[in-house]
Structure formats: C-alpha cells, structure tokens
Amino acid sequence: MHPVAATYPLLDLRRLPRARVSAGAVTVAVTFRETWADGLGARGWKLDANLDDPEIIAATSTPGETIPTSVPVHDILDHLLCGFAPSGHRAEAMALAQLAQRTDTDPTPDYRQMVHEDLLQGRILGESPHAFIGAGLRAHLPRNADAWDGRTLMAALRAQLGEALLTELLVVRLRALGQLGRPHAMLAWRLTGFDFRHRGRLGDRLQRLLERMDAWVRTDGRPHATGEIRLRADLCEFAARNGPRLRI
C-alpha cells in the first residue's frame, strides 16, 4: 500500500488524487480492465485514485450476498467520500462501519473475517501492530513489544489469552475503530454538499450505474476502458473516454 502518512487513516477530501470535489458534485476517474496484472487476474473497475495501491483489487458491479451494493460503491462512498485511506485495517474498519450504516447491515461478519484472515496471522497494514491493537490488548504485552512484528505480537497475545478470546477482543477493537471514524466521515460528506442521511439512496443509484457500465464493456467486448463517474444528489453519470454517456 502507499507509504504510511502522518494523517493515516484520515484524508482531506479536497486533496485526493484523480478526484474532484465541489459543493453538490463529485467526479471520480475510473478504469476498467478485463484482466489486471495484480497477480490474481481480477476483472473489473478501479478508482484511478487507487491505481498505485496494490491492496486494492478491481471489482465488478456484483453485490454481496447480504449487502445490496458492490465493492466499487464501497470504495467510492465508504472510503473516498468519507475521507478514509483506500486500504489498511484501521481505514477498512472505519469504512465498513459506514457501509453497515448506509445499507442497514451488521459489520460483525466482515470484522470477524478480517480477524481470521489477517489479524490473527499478524498481517496489519497501515500502521504498526502495536499501535493498531489498542491499550487494552497492549496491557497483556511486555514494554518492548512495540518493536515486535505482527506475527510475534499476535503469537504472544494468543499465548496469553487463547485464540477464542483474542478473536472476540479483536472484533471489539475493530468495531470501536469503526465508530471512531464517523465524525470525520460526516465532515467529509459535508464538503461534498451531499446529505449524509441519504447515503443509501445515492448508493443504490450508483450501484445501478455500475451495472450499466459493466453491461456496456461486456456487450462492446472491451478489454479496457476509462472514464469518469460524476455524482450529484439527483444524478449518477458515467462519461466514457471514447465511449457513451450513461445516466441513472
């Protein structure tokens, strides 16, 4: 991911790369590839603001099993427009909290997945593992643990607490981090001029636009496409470079 910034995970919405924000309108550059050279061969769209971040995987407009919107909607509404870094576990905890509130869903399954797939293995992105775990878990470690890598730190906590309890405490930590991001998200949305209370409505409209964008590249047989998504409170639009203009 990008080098850790002093402000991680909070970003100034007015200084985001390859995105333009003005009162009542946001423009986000996006790129589609049939196959991305990311080691996974992913197919789908990426925000141009995230092109240099290897942690961000391209995605299509396919929604999740319980969440009615797709990963690109999450990247735009819950990361970028909330002023959160595109990757890193603290940023993702905050963005998942906003996703849950926007879609009226429970973030706990996603937090638990993060714990099992990453945190218990000592994989913590965006900051030092010692800073990430918080004071409650740090109390179970010796003073020199601030220099430990993630794997060593998690092994010590597992030995002290057992894996089941450690898992639950890490889920609690992620939930707390998620709530800490709400004030910044509300401030960032105020800069856009959009109504923070109507994020769900905007997400539904953006989801429909992304489905049309996917249908266009599929029907046209395009292996590569670029353009801009333009958001307003009453309109979502995609203006393709050398292609159509799609509106919802």
- The token pair that represents 109 in the structure block: 């399954």
Beta strands 25-33 and 19-22 are antiparallel
Which pLDDT does position 5 carry in this prediction? 60
* β-bridge mates for residue 114, sequence order: none
Secondary structure class of 85 (helix, strand, coil): coil
Q: Say how far apart CA 78 and CA 56 lie, in whole Å.
A: 14
**Per-residue pLDDT tens listing for the chain (248 residues):** 343 467 899 999 888 878 899 889 999 999 999 999 887 889 999 999 999 898 999 999 999 889 999 999 999 999 999 999 999 999 999 999 999 999 999 999 999 999 999 999 999 999 999 999 999 999 999 999 999 999 999 999 999 999 999 999 999 999 999 999 999 999 999 999 999 999 999 999 999 999 999 999 999 999 999 999 999 988 999 999 989 999 99
Which pLDDT does position 4 carry in this prediction? 45
Whether this model's pTM surpasses 0.75? yes
